[in-house]
Structure 1
Amino acid sequence: MHDIKIRGRYQVKLHELLCATAVVAVCASPAYAGEEVIYEAAPAWVEPVDFDAALAKDEMLVLFDRQVRMEDGVVHDYLDIAYKIETPQALTQLGTVQVPWLPDKGDLFVHNLEIVRDGEVIDLLANGGDFDVLRREQQLESRSLDGMLTATMAIPGLRVGDVLRMRRSTTTRDQALNGEMQVLQGVFAEPAELGFGRMVVTWPEGTAMRYQVTRDVALAEPETVDGYRRLAIEFPVDELDEMPGDAPARYQQASLLQVGTYRSWEEVSAKMAPHFSTEGSITPGGDVAREVASIEAQTDVPLERAALALQVVQDRIAYLLNGLDGGNYLPQQPEQTWELRYGDCKAKSMLLLAMLREMGIKSEAVLVRSQAGDWVREMLPMPGDFDHMIVHATIDGEDYWLDGTNAGIRLSTIGEVPRFFYALPLREGGAELVRMDQRWQDTPDRATRVSIDQSAGFDYPALFDIDVKVQGAMAARFQNIDDTTEEDEITAFASQYASDIVGDNIVFQADIEYDEDTGIARVIAKGLTSTWWDIDRNSATLTPYTSSNGMTFSPDRARREWRDIPYQVGGPLRLTEQVEIRLPEGNADYVLRGTDADAQMVGGSRITRTATLDGNMLRVRSDKAEIPVEIPADEFAVNRRAANKLKSGDYKVRANEGVTRYWEYSPEEVAKRMEGIEDALDQYVALDPDDADRLSLRAGMIGTYTYDYEAAARDLTRAIDEKPSAELYAVRAQTYANAGEWERALDDALYAYDLQGDFAMAAQLADIQAKNGDVEGALALLEEFDLGGDDRVAQAQLRAELEGSAGRADDGFAMIEQILTERPGDAQLLNAKCWHMGTWRYKLDEAEAVCSEAVQTSSYDASVLDSRAMAYYRLGEFDKALKDIDAALSKEPNMAASRYLKGVILSEQGRKKEGREEIAYAKRLAPQVVRQYALYGIEQPE
Structure 2
Amino acid sequence: MTMKNPIRFLTLLLISPLWVAVANAQVDFTPVAVPTEAVWDAAPAFVQEVRAPLAEEAELEAFGGVVYLLTDTQHDARGEEPVNFRRIVREARNISGVEEVAQQQIVFDPSFQRLVFHHVYITRDGERTDRRDSVRVDFARQETEFDRLMLNGQVTALMRLDDVRVGDVVDVAYTIYGSNPVFDGQDFREFTLRWAVPVERLFVRSLWTDGDVGYWDVFGGKVDVIHQTGAGFEEFRYDGLQVEALDPESGAPSWHYQYPALRITGFDDWQDVTDWAEPIFNLEPNAAVRSEVERIRARHETPEDQLLAALRFVQDEVRYLALSFGQGGYVPASPDQTLQTRFGDCKAKTVLFNQMARELGFTADPALVNLYSGRGLDNYMPSPGGFDHVITRLRHDGETYWVDPTNSHQGGTLAALTQADYGWALPLTERGEGLVSMAAERDAEGPSLIVREEVDLSGGRSAPIRLSVETVRTRDEADFARAVIAEVGRSGLQRNYLDFYNGAFGDSEFVEPLRYEDDRANNQLTVWEEVDLHTPYEDGATPSAYSFNFFAHALTRVVENDAERRRVSPLAVGHPFHIRHEITIKLTNGGRNWDLENESERIENSAFEYSYTARRSGDEYRMVYEMKSLGHVVPSDAASEVLREQDDMMDAIFYGFDMTEPQRRPSK
Q: TM-score range by the shorter chain?
A: 0.7 to 0.9
Aligned: 1:269 with 2:274: yes
- Is the 2:121–2:130 contact (alpha carbons within 8 Å) kept by the matching residues of 1? yes
The code of the aligned residue for 2:114 comes to D
Residue 435 (structure 1) aligns with = 437
CA distance in structure 2 between the aligned counterparts of 1:26 and 1:355, rounded to whole angstroms: 24
- Cα distance in 1 for partners of 2:465, 2:374 equals 45
- Deviation, 1:384, is 0.9
Indicate yes or no: 2:474 matched with 1:472.
Answer: no
Letter in 2 for 1:476: A
Deviations 1:743-773 (A, max 9, x none): xxxxxxxxxxxxxxxxxxxxxxxxxxxxxxx
In 2, Cα distance between equivalents of 1:124 and 1:556: 45
Q: Deviations over 1:419-450 (max 9, x none)?
A: 52111212223221111215367575433231
1:84 and 2:84 correspond: no
Name the structure 2 match of 1:229: 234
Q: How many residues align?
A: 623
Whether 1:338 and 2:345 are equivalent positions in the alignment is no
1:463 partnered with 2:447: no
> CA offsets, 1:715-739, max 9 Å, x none?
xxxxxxxxxxxxxxxxxxxxxxxxx
The residue type equivalent to 1:661 in the other structure is T
Structure 1 residues 337-386: Cα deviation after superposition (integer angstroms, max 9, x where no partner): 23223222222222222222222222212222222322221121111122
Q: C-alpha root-mean-square deviation of aligned residues, in Å?
A: 4.8
Range with greater deviation from structure 2 (85-94 or 342-351)? 85-94
Change (3 A) 1:351 1:242: same
Q: CA deviation at 1:508?
A: 3.0
State the alpha-carbon separation in 1 of the partners of residues 131 and 486 from structure 2: 53
Q: Percent identity?
A: 22
Quote the Cα distance in structure 2 between the aligned partners of 1:27 and 1:576: 43
Could you tell me how far apart the structure 1 residues matched to 2:50 and 2:557 are? 59
Structure 2 CA distance, aligned partners of 1:147 and 1:636? 42
Shift in alpha-carbon separation, 1:125–1:647, aligned structure 2, 3 A: closer
| Structure 1 residues 256-405: aligned runs within 5 Å | 256-280=261-285, 283-284=286-287, 286=288, 288-326=289-327, 328-405=329-406
Paired with 1:96 and 1:634, the residues of 2 have a C-alpha distance of 43
Structure 2: distance between partners of 1:353 and 1:177: 26
1:114–1:123 contact (8 Å) kept in structure 2: yes
The amino acid across from 1:99 in the alignment is I
2:186 matched to which residue of 1?
Answer: 180
What residue in structure 2 maps to residue 866 of structure 1? none
Instruction: Tell me the equivalent position of 2:660.
Output: 661
Q: Name the one with the larger helix percent.
A: 1
Tell me how far apart the structure 2 counterparts of residues 415 and 547 of structure 1 sit (CA, whole Å): 23
How big is the shift at 1:138? 5.0
Residue 222 of structure 1, CA deviation? 0.7
- The change in CA–CA distance for 1:304 and 1:449 in structure 2 (over 3 A counts) is farther
Q: Secondary structure at the match of 1:381?
A: coil
**Structure 1 residues 481 and 540: alpha-carbon distance in aligned structure 2, compared to 1, 3 A threshold:** closer
| Matching of residues 78-227 of structure 1 within 5 Å | 78-92=85-99, 95-125=102-132, 131=137, 133-135=139-141, 137-189=143-195, 192-225=197-230, 227=232
Q: Distance in 2 between matches of 1:324 and 1:607?
A: 48
Whether the 8 Å contact between 2:34 and 2:155 is mirrored in structure 1 is no
Q: Deviations over 1:395-436 (max 9, x none)?
A: 343332222333331116964344521112122232211112
Pair 429,100 (structure 1): closer, same or farther in 2 beyond 3 Å: same
- The structure-2 alpha-carbon separation of the partners of 1:243 and 1:163, relative to structure 1 and needing over 3 Å to count, comes to closer
Q: Does structure 2 retain, via aligned residues, the 8 Å contact 1:146–1:323?
A: yes
Q: 2:55 touches 2:169 (CA, 8 Å); kept in 1? A: no
For the residue of structure 2 that corresponds to 1:478, the secondary structure is: helix
TM-score relative to the length of structure 1: 0.57
After superposition, the C-alpha distances for 1:837-890 in whole angstroms (9 at most, x for unaligned) are xxxxxxxxxxxxxxxxxxxxxxxxxxxxxxxxxxxxxxxxxxxxxxxxxxxxx9
Q: Is the 8 A contact 2:202 2:243 kept in 1?
A: no
Structure 2 residue 583 is matched with structure 1 residue 579: yes
Instruction: Please state whether the residue corresponding to 1:278 is helix, strand or coil.
Output: coil
Q: CA deviation at 1:271?
A: 0.9
Tell me the CA shift for residue 87 of structure 1: 4.4
Query: Which whole-Å CA distance do the structure 2 matches of 1:57 and 1:468 have between them?
Result: 61
CA spacing shift, 1:63–1:248, aligned 2, 3 Å: closer
Q: What is the SS of the residue equivalent to 2:82? A: strand
Tell me how far apart the structure 2 counterparts of residues 360 and 271 of structure 1 sit (CA, whole Å).
26
SS of the residue 2:117 aligns to: strand
Structure with greater strand share of residues: 2
Counterpart Cα distance in 2 of 1:368 and 1:308: 24
Flag the 1:272–1:178 CA change in 2: closer, same or farther, 3 A: farther
The offset of 1:569, in angstroms, is 3.7
* Cα distance in 2, alignment partners of residues 293 and 93 from structure 1: 60
Cα distance between partner residues in 2 of 1:220 and 1:302: 56
Q: Which has the higher contact order (CA 8 A, sep 6+)?
A: 2
Give the aligned residue type for 1:66.
T
Q: Match for residue 73 of structure 2?
A: 66
- Structure 2 distance, partners of 1:571, 1:152, is 41
Amino acid at match of 1:416: T
| Secondary structure of 1:222's aligned partner | strand
| 1:106 CA drift (Å) | 3.3
Query: Could you tell me how far 1:613 is from its partner in structure 2?
Result: 3.9
Name whichever of 545-554 and 327-336 sits farther off: 545-554
> How far 1:182 sits from its partner (Å)?
0.7
Q: Tell me the secondary structure at the aligned position of residue 60 of structure 1.
A: strand
CA contact (8 A) 2:139 2:157 kept: yes
User: Aligned-pair distance for 1:259?
Assistant: 1.1
User: 1:326 is matched by which residue type in structure 2?
Assistant: Q
Structure 1 match to 2:528: 524
1:936 maps to which residue?
A: none
Residue range with higher mean Cα deviation, 311-320 or 54-63: 54-63
**Taking structure 1 as reference, are residues 609 and 279 closer, same or farther at Cα in structure 2, changes over 3 Å only?**
farther
Alignment partners' CA distance in 2, 1:580 and 1:236: 64
Which residue identity lines up with residue 120 of structure 2 in the other structure?
L
Q: SS in structure 1 opposite 2:357? A: helix
Q: Secondary structure at the match of 1:180?
A: coil
Q: How far apart, CA to CA, are the structure 2 residues paired with 1:588 and 1:27?
A: 71
Closer, same or farther: CA 132–582 of 1 in aligned 2, 3 Å: closer
Alpha-carbon shift at residue 174 of structure 1 (Å): 2.9
Does 2:615 match 1:616?
no
Q: Deviations over 1:526-579 (max 9, x none)?
A: 3245369999999999988486799999999965x85xx766542223324443
AA in 1 matched with 2:110: P
Q: Tell me, in whole angstroms, the C-alpha distance in 2 between the residues paired with 1:169 and 1:360.
A: 51
CA contact (8 A) 1:55 1:195 kept: no
Distance 2:174 2:413 in 1: 54
1:451 paired residue number:
454
Look up the match of 1:832. Answer: none
Cα gap change, 1:206 to 1:433, in 2 (>3 Å): closer
Rounded Cα–Cα distance in structure 2 between residues aligned with 1:557 and 1:591: 39
The letter for the 2-side match of 1:170 is I
SS in 1 for 2:50: coil
Opposite residue 359 of structure 1, the aligned amino acid is L
Residue type of the partner of 2:187?
Answer: M
Report SS of the residue matched to 1:99: strand
Q: TM-score, normalised by structure 2?
A: 0.77
- The alignment partner of 2:315 has SS state of helix
CA apart distance, 1:580: 2.9
The match for 2:422 is 420
Provide the C-alpha distance between the structure 2 equivalents of 1:93 and 1:386, rounded to a whole number of angstroms: 33
Distance 1:448 1:48, change over 3 A: same
Residues 92/317 of structure 1: CA separation in 2 closer, same or farther (3 Å cut): farther
For the structure 1 residues 462 and 390, does the alpha-carbon distance in structure 2 shift closer, same or farther, using more than 3 Å as the test? same
